[in-house]
Amino acid sequence: MLPGLSFRHRPCRARAWRGVAIAAGALAGILLATSSAHAQAAPPAGHQDEAFDFMNLLAHHDLHDISQESWNAYGQFTSIEQWKPAFSARYSGEQSLGTAAEGSFTETATLFFGLRLWHGGEAYFVPEVISELPLSGLHGIGGAIQNFELQKTGSETPQLYRSRTYLRQTFGLGGGPEEKESDPMQLGTKVDKRRIVFTVGNFTILDVFDRNSISWDPRQTFLNMAFMTYASWDFPSDARGYSWGGAEELYWDSWVFRLARITPPQRPNQLPLDLRLWEFYGDNVEIEHDHTIRGQAGAVRLLGYRNRVDTGRFADAIAAFQGNQQENARSCGPRSDYLANPNAPDLCWVRKPNVKLGIGLSVEQHFTEDIGVFARGMFSDGQSEVDAFNAADRSFSVGAVAKGSAWKRSFDVTGVGFGMSWISSIHAQYLAMGGVDGFLGDGNLRQAAEGVVEGFYSVNLLDAIWVTADYQFLWNPGYNADRGPVNIFGGRVHAEF
C-alpha cells in the first residue's frame, strides 16, 4: 500500500453489513473452499484506512482501542486467474513452459490473528487455505513467474496450513514515539523510534526484510514475482516460502539494521525443513536508510545473503556426468527430485554442503502522495542450484505504482513494471546439456536474458473489494532465445475484512 492516504471514515450501517457479508464469505472460503490452493510468502499489505475491516468497525462502536491494541484479527481472500495463449518454440524439454494455450489460477483465504502477551511482546498466528494450478507444473520460467502466489507444493485441492506462528519482542531505546497502525500482523501501538525488535518462530523472511512500501504484495499490486522482491534472492525456505528461525532489527532514527538466520529445506525446493540451524542455514543482512526528498518518502536498502545448504554445483554435475555418463538423471533413482533426462547431467549426484552468496540493492521513492517508483537489483554467485526460491542468478526490476486520486478513484491502483533476470554461464551450460533444475529444463538452450513487462489496473468496489485486470509480456522464457515470447492475461479479485 502506498503511504500517504490516511483517513479513517465512519462506516455506515450499510457498509458494515456489506463488510460482514464479505467477511462471512471469505471465512466460508477459508474453511469450505473447494477449488484449488497455493499460497505466497509475501507479507500482506497494510489495510487502507478508509476501507472496511472488523477492527475499524469495533473501534467505531467503542468496543476496541485500535491505537493501543491487545489483540486484532484481519482476513483476506484473493482469487487470481490467468491464461496464456499458445506460443511458438523451436523445441521443448521435460521442464519447459508448454507451448499450448493454458490456464492457471490461485485462490487463497487467510486469517491474521495478533495478540499482545506482555509489554513489547506480541504473538501472531496466520492460518491460510490455498488452492492452485500453475502453468506447466510451474516449469519453464526463471525469474518472472507470472503469479507470486503460486507455491511449489500447491494443488487444486484446497490445503489448510499454518503459514506463520511467531513471537515479536520490542525493546524501546528512546528517540521519541512512533505510531504503528493496526494492520494484519501488526498490533496498533506506539513504539520508540529507536528500538530493537526480535522475531522468532515460523515466518517468511519477507515479513522482515525488503519491506518495499510500493510493490511487495501480489494481492494488491503486481502479480509477477519479478516485482515482489529480488528474483535472484535464493532465501532458504520450505516449498511454500516459509522458514523457522530468528531475526533481529535495530531501528535508529532513519537507519535500520537487520540480521536473520533461517532454516533451509532438507532437499532443494521441497517442503521439509532442516532444523539444524548450526549446520545448514541462510544468513541475511540488510541495511536500510529512510529519507525524504522534497517532502516525499523514500528508502534505500542494501541486502546480502549467505546460504550454507545441501545443494549441487553446476560445474560438479557436469564434471560427474562427463566422467561417468551412467551418472545421469534417470539413474539417480530416489535421489532425483526433478524430472529425469537420461542423456544429461543431474545435480542429484553432487549434492553436498555448499555456500551460495548474493548482494542486492533496492530503492524506492514517492513523487507525490499517490505515486511511487521502485527499483531492485541483485547479483548472486550462480554456481549452485536454486535451493528454495527460483531459477535466477541475477535480476533487475523497476516499476511505478499510482493510486487513482487524480481521477477521483482514490482506492483504485494501477502500475507498470519492467523486469530482467539472467543466469550464470555455468548454469546456462548445464541447461544447454539437457540438465534440469527446480524450474527449468528445455533440453537445450540458446542463452538470453529473460524479460517481462507487466501492467495492471485495480478497481475498488464496496470499499473492501478490488477487481484487477492484468497483462504480462514475457520474452525468452527460461532464458531461452529459442522459445517465446509469451502473452499472459490475468484477472484478480481481492477482498479484505
Residue 485: cis peptide before it, omega within 30 degrees of 0: yes
Q: Closest by alpha carbon to 392, among 27, 141, 171, 74?
A: 141
Whether residue 76 contacts residue 192, with contact meaning beta carbons closer than 8 Å, is answered with: no
* Site residues, other proteins (CB under 8 A): 31-32, 58, 63, 71, 73, 113, 115, 125, 127, 159-163, 165, 202, 238, 240, 242, 244, 266-267, 271-275, 333-337
Indicate the residue among 223 and 348 with the shorter CB distance to other proteins.
Answer: 348
The least CB distance from residue 158 to other proteins, in Å, is 8
Indicate the residue among 33 and 373 with the shorter CB distance to other proteins.
Answer: 33
The least CB distance from residue 267 to other proteins, in Å, is 8
The least CB distance from residue 340 to other proteins, in Å, is 10
* The C-alpha cell that represents 114 in the structure block: 495478533
The least CB distance from residue 152 to other proteins, in Å, is 13
Indicate the residue among 113 and 479 with the shorter CB distance to other proteins.
Answer: 113
The least CB distance from residue 334 to other proteins, in Å, is 5
The least CB distance from residue 465 to other proteins, in Å, is 23
Indicate the residue among 244 and 281 with the shorter CB distance to other proteins.
Answer: 244
Q: How far apart, in whole angstroms, are the C-alpha atoms of residue 481 and residue 435?
A: 17
Indicate the residue among 45 and 111 with the shorter CB distance to other proteins.
Answer: 111
The least CB distance from residue 106 to other proteins, in Å, is 17
The least CB distance from residue 114 to other proteins, in Å, is 10
Q: How far apart, in whole angstroms, are the C-alpha atoms of residue 438 and residue 152?
A: 9
The least CB distance from residue 230 to other proteins, in Å, is 23
SS3 assignment, position 362: strand
Indicate the residue among 348 and 452 with the shorter CB distance to other proteins.
Answer: 348
Indicate the residue among 180 and 267 with the shorter CB distance to other proteins.
Answer: 267
Whether residue 238 contacts residue 267, with contact meaning beta carbons closer than 8 Å, is answered with: no
Indicate the residue among 115 and 285 with the shorter CB distance to other proteins.
Answer: 115
Indicate the residue among 272 and 485 with the shorter CB distance to other proteins.
Answer: 272
- How many CA atoms are closer than 13 Å to the CA of 300, on its beta-carbon side? 4
- DSSP 8-state assignment for residue 267: S
Phi-psi region of 295 (alpha: psi -120 to 50; beta: other; left: phi over 0): left
- DSSP 8-state assignment for residue 148: T
Q: Closest by alpha carbon to 106, among 58, 154, 62?
A: 154
Q: Closest by alpha carbon to 411, among 360, 330, 465, 369?
A: 465
Strands (E), 85-120: 102-118
* The C-alpha cell that represents 185 in the structure block: 500482523
The letter for the amino acid at 111 is L
Indicate the residue among 21 and 160 with the shorter CB distance to other proteins.
Answer: 160
The least CB distance from residue 63 to other proteins, in Å, is 5
Q: What is the DSSP track for 231-245?
A: TT------TTS-EEE
The least CB distance from residue 345 to other proteins, in Å, is 18
Distance between first and last Cα of the chain: 16
Indicate the residue among 32 and 406 with the shorter CB distance to other proteins.
Answer: 32
Q: How far apart, in whole angstroms, are the C-alpha atoms of residue 345 and residue 325?
A: 8
* The C-alpha cell that represents 150 in the structure block: 503460486
Rg (CA), the chain: 22
Q: How far apart, in whole angstroms, are the C-alpha atoms of residue 388 and residue 416?
A: 27
SS3 assignment, position 16: helix
The least CB distance from residue 202 to other proteins, in Å, is 7
Q: Closest by alpha carbon to 11, among 458, 408, 463?
A: 463
Residue 265: cis peptide before it, omega within 30 degrees of 0: no
Question: Hey, which residues does 111 pair with through a beta bridge?
Answer: 75
Indicate the residue among 99 and 108 with the shorter CB distance to other proteins.
Answer: 108
